[in-house]
Amino acid sequence: MAPADLATLVTKARGGDPRAVARLITLVESGDPRLPELAGLLAPYAGDAQVIGLTGSPGVGKSTTVSALVTALRAAGRRVGVLAVDPSSPFTGGAILGDRVRMQEHATDPGVYIRSMSNRGHLGGLAAATPQAVRVLAAAGCEVILVETVGVGQAEVEVASLADTTLVLLAPGMGDAIQAVKAGILEIGDIFVINKADRDGADATYRDIQGMIGLAERAPGQWRPKVLRTVAAKGEGIDEVVAAIDRHQTWLREHGEWRRRRELRAAAEVEHIVVSGLRAEARQLGGGTRLSELAARVAAGELDPYTAAAQVRDALRGETPS
Amino acid sequence: MAPADLATLVTKARGGDPRAVARLITLVESGDPRLPELAGLLAPYAGDAQVIGLTGSPGVGKSTTVSALVTALRAAGRRVGVLAVDPSSPFTGGAILGDRVRMQEHATDPGVYIRSMSNRGHLGGLAAATPQAVRVLAAAGCEVILVETVGVGQAEVEVASLADTTLVLLAPGMGDAIQAVKAGILEIGDIFVINKADRDGADATYRDIQGMIGLAERAPGQWRPKVLRTVAAKGEGIDEVVAAIDRHQTWLREHGEWRRRRELRAAAEVEHIVVSGLRAEARQLGGGTRLSELAARVAAGELDPYTAAAQVRDALRGETPS
């Protein structure tokens, strides 16, 4: 697309043109050099969209649940965006989208935008791209934006830092409660959804999670995580999940958390852009502060990494000739 | 401990005093302000230790395999260090060490140091602490250092960037080969170990992994990952794993990769220290470039994140009064 088209694309996306939305998200995902300009155009549309994070281990039924949630939200007349983020494969060029097939029932609904995003080879890329993709969807008029991540661990923490409400999906027999604690998900879930609740072990999983929530330290007035049961493949329990999301949103607004979470995630976003830029600068330093030369001396045991880091820092500050 | 004791502690650790080793690793793990001084004392001992990364999903038998490898390495008279790193729980104060029980058979062997490390609440903390902990173990005379991580995803990538040789553990029936690709582990493994190889499905897992390795693009002269089968609980196949590790180390040295990997990881370490320091500086900026104030304006849609980031960058450079 021609460089001058950004403002036109944003205007078209505002008008609900799905191709304009798709092109803007591709631009964001690929780390296009015009991202700062695009960010300026999108800034006013940071918006009031509800951002819902959804995470869980492979096999718990994330795609099925997201699809069922989209159906319920559309039935209520709400415009929906879905970002399926796959941070677990930083090396390959694209996310594996086999299970995205389940989303195809929404493909022809003009009130739904569905998009997968992968890392495209640069670590930390998704952390920068996802907030901008959320802004594109908000600008396009999405009232609810579901951000689904694959995998366990660090990725969840980033979902939690992005979302207003974080849903953690579990399934019976997918690993005991200890594993949930290990993965750190107990601390990030606002709502726990035990999917495949018609299977053996669902009650035990429910009790385990309720028990751990009961044991967790919580300041007075803090949100107590909800635990719900669904059979997403049959649409069972999905309306209750939507209701719990809406109750959490009301709670966020009544407790000043709505604004606070948005400010925290804006701070994280700004910090991420600063750090990425500085990292790129550090790699381009010349002369004696060249990172590769310093690293060779550290590897040889001639220099310690903190002294090397101080030299890089001084060079970034412009205090030594490069 | 008294501030003046660092040099003494390093001397004691050099002499093999296990308490000195433990105290130094605690100091590293806790992000002690004297880390730069300690790094200076440890720099000469970057050493020739073989650093072996070991990763895999929960349930594949990582602890059992590490314990069996330690037994085999000790039988060969080699001094061994084990770091069990748990990056998956950034919020809780300590790693869950239930399965560390298996390591206790080595607890009284003076030729083995075993240590768990957790995130201690600060994200990215382990990325900084682990290389220093490896240096402490190298200084204490460990010839082989096994770094075990729990979890899947980003953590593996960091293990791979730290290790000379990365072992990926799999088990039959723990998820199909597609999951392995999803988790990005195919790209980081130098040696794949199918543990619990006496179980159903081991042959299928072996064929799947061999097939995917065969399909992967590989430059001429590049290492072709090995696939081995073990029953770690019975010690079966462990000698073959040790032999494969040693063959990989020989290959690394013969192909200039030994030095190259060490330099790359030193560069990553230096960069990490630089970035952490800058991040801390950015958070302490005052006046109009205060991150929280900029973030509030971004959240309100008055400012875009790239413009905010440029203001922070200028302040870090010292170009605007703070």
- Residue B133: inside a domain, yes or no? yes
CA quadruple B1, B6, B8, B10: dihedral positive or negative? positive
Domain boundary among B205, B221, B255: B255
**Spatial separation of the C-alpha atoms in residues A70 and A114, rounded to whole Å:** 10
- Residue B260: inside a domain, yes or no? no
pLDDT: which is higher, B162 or A181: B162
Write the residue in B184, B271, B303 that is nearest to A279 by C-beta.
B271
Phi/psi at A94 (nearest 5 deg)? -150, 155
Chain A residue with minimum CA distance to B283: A271
Residue B98 has pLDDT above 50, yes or no: no
Q: Please say whether the beta carbons of A69 and A241 come within 8 A.
A: yes
From A61-70, A223-232, B113-122, the region with the lowest mean pLDDT? B113-122
Question: Which residues of chain B does A185 touch, with a Cβ-Cβ cutoff of 8 Å?
Answer: none
A298/B46 touch (CB, cutoff 8 Å), yes or no: yes
Domain that holds residue A290: 271-317
Question: Which residues of chain B does A278 touch, with a Cβ-Cβ cutoff of 8 Å?
Answer: 274-275, 278, 313, 316
Q: Please say whether the beta carbons of A322 and A289 come within 8 A.
A: yes
- B240 to chain A, closest Cα gap in Å: 29
3-class secondary-structure state, position B50? strand
Verify that B36 and B105 share a domain, yes or no: yes
A313/B274 touch (CB, cutoff 8 Å), yes or no: yes
**Spatial separation of the C-alpha atoms in residues A155 and A172, rounded to whole Å:** 22
Closest by CA to A28, choosing from A129, A116, A121, is A129
- Residue A32: inside a domain, yes or no? no
| The pLDDT value given to residue B165 | 94
B43/A292 touch (CB, cutoff 8 Å), yes or no: no
CA quadruple B206, B207, B212, B218: dihedral positive or negative? positive
Q: Domain total for chain A?
A: 2
- The CA angle A285-A287-A291, to the nearest 5 degrees, is 50
Verify that B176 and B300 share a domain, yes or no: no
- A190 to chain B, closest Cα gap in Å: 15
Cα torsion for B35, B41, B44, B47, to the nearest 10°? -60
Residue B134 has pLDDT above 50, yes or no: yes
Q: Which residue has the tokens 């990215």?
A: B124
- Residue A194: inside a domain, yes or no? yes
ipTM of the complex: 0.81
Question: Which residues of chain B does A306 touch, with a Cβ-Cβ cutoff of 8 Å?
Answer: 35-36, 39-40, 273
Half-sphere exposure of A138 (CA within 13 A, CB side): 21
Residue A89 — very low, low, confident or very high, per pLDDT cuts 50/70/90? very low
Residue B10 — very low, low, confident or very high, per pLDDT cuts 50/70/90? very high
DSSP A222: P
- Residue B263: inside a domain, yes or no? no
Distance of CA B226 to the CA centre of its chain: 21
- The CA angle A85-A88-A89, to the nearest 5 degrees, is 100
For every residue of B92-141, DSSP letters joined together read SSS---GGGGGGGGGTT-TTEEEEEEE-TT-TTHHHHHHHHHHHHHHHTT
CATH of the domain at B30: 3.40.50.300
| The pLDDT value given to residue A95 | 37
Verify that A80 and A125 share a domain, yes or no: yes
- A299 to chain B, closest Cα gap in Å: 5
Chain B residue with minimum CA distance to A42: B304
| The pLDDT value given to residue A274 | 86
- Residue A216: inside a domain, yes or no? yes
Verify that B118 and B73 share a domain, yes or no: yes
Other CB atoms within 10 A of residue A169 CB: 27
Residue A9 has pLDDT above 60, yes or no: yes
Chain B residue with minimum CA distance to A38: B304
Phi/psi at A148 (nearest 5 deg)? -100, 130
Domain boundary among B223, B255, B287: B255
B153/A157 touch (CB, cutoff 8 Å), yes or no: no
B25-35 confidence digits (pLDDT tens): 988 888 788 98
Domain boundary among A255, A286, A309: A255
3-class secondary-structure state, position B236? strand
Residue A79 has pLDDT above 60, yes or no: yes
B291/A303 touch (CB, cutoff 8 Å), yes or no: no
Closest by CA to A97, choosing from A112, A115, A81, is A115
